[in-house]
A and B are shown apart, each in its own frame.
Chain A
């Protein structure tokens, strides 16, 4: 075929690349006819996506890697082990404050300093005690429940009871795994756990790197934080000073 026809085709609009999940769903026939048509139109003009898709079957074929350069395999495995080891190691203690030369103080300033120190020490003792209690609860956990929450299957109303993720309140720790696939378009994220009948249980920030494809975030809850009942996890996104709800998951503690 002629270069002229090829050049004419090159000037056609390519459109955005389909995300990898959609691309992978195409050969499995899991897309709607409209979506399938859009993906096919894109594939016709996008060399990258077409080549990627032809390699999807390759990943299932042991012969695909026959000519691969395996010289670095052991080094990659060692680095992988180290990386996993680092991630699973307990986090480092907070940095020690830099040493400062003592300043000469008046008796009144010394009294005020002593009083503040006393308050600080008392506060610190309470904080350490509560921290120790929480560490004991989490580290001494005899049983743990893990609930993978997917908004599509556990939205709540209308979901059959069998599809609702349920944890036993006997578990010492309940870990909720939020699946936030496709949600990373905000600058900041926050979760909130509420009782189905109302009333907030806990809340906190979620670190979701917009460049990362880590769709899953764990939230660990000690048993004393959450008793039997139905709960909702609400996920909020904040951009440009505006916060809006973006996802809601339901779960039950027996």
Chain B
């Protein structure tokens, strides 16, 4: 029976020591990381069959490259780069497929399968653009980390702890940055933009 607590370094050491990787050692590595790699692809929105294909591809590249893996590096980091490359490659091919299959109107001005969009009035659009530009510029003038915290919170709707993990800050620092960012924006933009920069919702 395999030892599930066996450190991955020992498995890799054995895989690298052999002339060609031994199947039982590679199987141990596979058993250890299969659930995590499948989950990695499932979280990217792929259906189960695609997750399996991408996981197979990832392990195949691990098998091919295991001899060149530097043991002073973290295995999961190497695994991450391989899985991310597999994912991006799949996305590139998927995007190309979609582009080939796009329907185009046969007549000038016509649309293939979309209802005609309602155009906003020209003056409304101009006001929207101007407000958007001023907001963007005001955000751009915030100190770097404050701006990144605000963007991750507003644009990506991230939790404090996620923002903290991504920017390598403490959650408390993130909270302070967000508080100050909102205050600065309200001060700079004035009451005309009050509804654009409301108080932050309570952290979940």
Chain A interface residues (CB < 8 Å from chain B): 1-2, 4-12, 17, 20-21, 23-24, 27-29, 37, 40-41, 43-45, 47, 50-62, 64-73, 75-77, 79-81, 83-84, 87-88, 146, 148, 177, 179, 211, 213-216
Contacts and interface: CB of A to CB of B under 8 A. Distances in A.
Contacts of A53: 166
Interface of B: 20, 23, 27, 30, 32-40, 42-44, 48-49, 51-52, 55-56, 59-61, 63-65, 67-68, 74, 76-77, 79-86, 88-89, 92, 131-133, 135-136, 139-140, 144, 147-148, 151-156, 158, 162, 165-168, 195-198, 200-201
Nearest to B19: A144
Given A9-B154, A40-B148, A69-B48, A28 B77 contact: yes
Given A50-B166, A60-B74, A77-B27, A68 B156 contact: no
B145 to A, nearest CB: 8
A17 to B, nearest CB: 8
Contact of B68 (A64, A76, A216): A216
A6 B195 contact: no
Given A21-B81, A59-B76, A84-B60, A72 B39 contact: no
Nearest to B165: A54
A44 B148 contact: yes
A87 B64 CA distance: 10
A6 B60 contact: no
Contacts, number: 186
Nearest to A64: B36
Contacts of B23: 81
A134 B154 CA distance: 65
Given A7-B132, A20-B85, A70 B38 contact: yes
B139 A8 contact: yes
A56 B136 CA distance: 31
Contacts of B139: 5, 8-9
Given A62-B36, A64-B39, A80 B155 contact: no
B151 to A, nearest CB: 4
B84 A20 contact: yes
Nearest to B78: A24
Nearest to A216: B68
